[in-house]
Amino acid sequence: MSSMKFINGISALLLLATVVACGGNSTETESEIVQEETVVKEPERLYGIEIEGYTITNDTVRSGETVGGILGRRGISAVMVDRLDKASKEVFPLKNIRADNAYTVFSRHEVDSLGERDVVDYVVYHRNAIDYVVFGFRGDSVTVACDSRPVTIERRYCRADINSSLWGAIMEQNLPYALAAEFEDIYQWTVDFFGIQAGDSFAVIYDEKIVDGKSVGIGRIWGAEFNHSGKQFYAIPYAQEEGKLRYWEVSGESLRKQLLKAPLKYTRISSKFSNARLHPVHKVYRPHHGVDYAAPSGTPVYSVADGVVISAGWGGGGGNTVKIKHAGNLQTGYLHLKGFAKGIKKGVRVSQGQLIGYVGSTGTSTGPHLDYRIWKNGTPIDPLKVPQEPAEPILESHRARFEAVRDRVLAELRGEEVVGGKITDDDIFGKAAAADSTATPQTSRFIE
């Protein structure tokens, strides 16, 4: 036993000597000894759900489909649908699900004592291109959560000539269609969009929303210039009242006026104000103290100014008619309506831009259109020639900050270098204001 211990001791000494010798002669350093690290790969997710093990299918809500029918076809019981209905009331009521919107199903294949089947754990309903709702079905419980896809904001600039119409110019330039609606909202008091003609032009600075490399809409309009009938109309964004963005002329006058230029959108003028027009039905010449806007049946009609409804009912040859009294001894009339908006009746106060009815062809009419009329002190006047009074201009207390914003917007519209940098929400709303109230995750970059 003692001899064995002696031999083991000699072996240990020889091993130690070898290690020391190697350490003294080696050119390697401790930093060259690499320790292997374990890399943990993040699981792939879609709408916040780990996708491993799931079969993912996309579908669309069809007209007339119910939530119960959609889920029932995928094995979700009526009991679970009822639980979902209760759980979603305060988050996203199921009644808000709309036909033609997409949804995504996460299902997994399960084998147990009952056999094989596909089990749905999640259904994601797409409210729009950005926002979605995740309905979860795990075990006997349900969950409802709203979320949004990450959005990249790209700031763009465009200048274009109009050859036929605003819509035509936007399509020719491959611009977002939503720009047409934004232009009509911003310039609805000042530009006659029914009189657009070849030779008009526009320039605009706007944010485009990008999700997964695709355009999904537009955001802020940072400034615009509209050249119509030889006149230039600018739109400078600025919030004079806390949190209320408005657009202004370069002089500081508001683009908002007492009356909207027209009570509806996306249409054309088929007949103007006249003291002797050949009536299309009676075939005799008689006064037509209004403007006819040809539009599809059901097109929304809006009040052109704040006021009080003085009548809403049958108007003989005018069919369903709404008349509204406004400040300045003005009165407006909206004839041949298909029907009235909810709550529109005599004595009701309405706001400028409020929905009051829908284009129709009631009364003496040859087709769907709106006959729009204005009276001043009881005398009919041409709606296309009504003098317009602007809303309150920029106050002196805001003048310096407004002009600083204006000058930078004008420089950007001209394609010049912007001294001080391109304007931001801090410039428009004041540094204390938040950039945007939306909770959508966003990154930004400028695109020329």
CB 137 within 8 A of CB 120: yes
Between CA 397 and CA 402 the distance in angstroms is 10
Give 198 or 357, the one with higher predicted confidence: 357
The CATH number assigned to the domain holding 199 equals 3.10.450.350
Q: Is residue 50 part of a domain?
A: yes
Between CA 108 and CA 201 the distance in angstroms is 56
DSSP string covering 114-126: TEEEEEEEEEEEE
Alpha carbon distance, N-terminus to C-terminus of the chain: 89
| Same domain as 111, residue 55 | yes
Is residue 229 predicted with pLDDT exceeding 90?
no
Q: Residue 182: its pLDDT value, please?
A: 92
Q: Is residue 81 part of a domain?
A: yes
Q: Is residue 120 part of a domain?
A: yes
Reported confidence tier of residue 195, pLDDT bands at 50, 70, 90: confident
| Same domain as 272, residue 231 | no
Q: Is residue 412 part of a domain?
A: yes
Query: Domain limits at 207?
Result: 152-257+392-446
Is residue 400 predicted with pLDDT exceeding 90?
yes
| Same domain as 285, residue 304 | yes
Cβ-defined contacts of 100-103 (< 8 Å, 24+)? 100/60, 100/61, 100/63, 101/60, 101/61, 101/125, 101/126, 101/127, 101/128, 102/58, 102/59, 102/60, 102/61, 102/126, 103/58, 103/59, 103/60, 103/61, 103/70
- Helix, strand, coil percentages, rounded to 5, for the chain: 20, 40, 40
Q: Is residue 29 part of a domain?
A: no
Structure tokens at 41: 């790969």
Q: Is the entire prediction scored with pTM above 0.75? A: no
Other Cβ atoms within 10 Å of 138 Cβ, number: 10
Tens digits of per-residue pLDDT, 330-374? 999 999 999 999 999 999 999 999 999 999 999 988 889 999 999
Cβ-defined contacts of 427-434 (< 8 Å, 24+)? 427/401, 428/237, 428/238, 428/239, 428/245, 429/239, 429/243, 429/245, 430/239, 430/401, 433/239, 433/242, 433/243
| Same domain as 226, residue 81 | no
Q: Where a domain ends, among 148, 181, 199?
A: 148
Is residue 432 predicted with pLDDT exceeding 50?
no
Give 409 or 198, the one with higher predicted confidence: 409
- Beta strand 151-161 with 442-446 is parallel
Is residue 10 predicted with pLDDT exceeding 50?
no
Give 200 or 37, the one with higher predicted confidence: 200
Q: Is residue 20 part of a domain?
A: no
| Same domain as 276, residue 176 | no
CB 258 within 8 A of CB 328: yes
Helix ranges (DSSP H) in 129-175: 166-172
Q: Residue 111: its pLDDT value, please?
A: 82
| Same domain as 239, residue 160 | yes
Tens digits of per-residue pLDDT, 36-55? 556 677 889 999 999 999 99
Reference 121, options 57, 210, 204; nearest CA is 57
Q: Residue 197: its pLDDT value, please?
A: 85
Reported confidence tier of residue 397, pLDDT bands at 50, 70, 90: very high
| Same domain as 379, residue 274 | yes
Amino acid at 385: K
| Same domain as 283, residue 378 | yes
| Same domain as 360, residue 325 | yes
| Same domain as 157, residue 142 | no
| Same domain as 54, residue 130 | yes
Q: Is residue 21 part of a domain?
A: no
Reference 200, options 217, 183, 181, 223; nearest CA is 183
Question: Can you say how many angstroms the Cα of residue 37 is from the centroid of all Cα atoms in its chain?
Answer: 47
Between CA 381 and CA 250 the distance in angstroms is 30
| Same domain as 133, residue 282 | no
Is residue 298 predicted with pLDDT exceeding 90?
yes
Amino acid at 188: Q
Report how many domains make up the chain.
3
**Residue whose tokens read 């103007």:** 272
Q: Is residue 16 part of a domain?
A: no
Q: Residue 241: its pLDDT value, please?
A: 85
Q: Where a domain ends, among 148, 182, 210?
A: 148
The H or E element spanning position 231 is strand 231-241
Give 289 or 107, the one with higher predicted confidence: 107
Mean pLDDT computed over 250-263: 89
CB 88 within 8 A of CB 144: yes
Q: Where a domain ends, among 95, 127, 148?
A: 148
Q: Residue 269: its pLDDT value, please?
A: 59
The CATH number assigned to the domain holding 377 equals 2.70.70.10
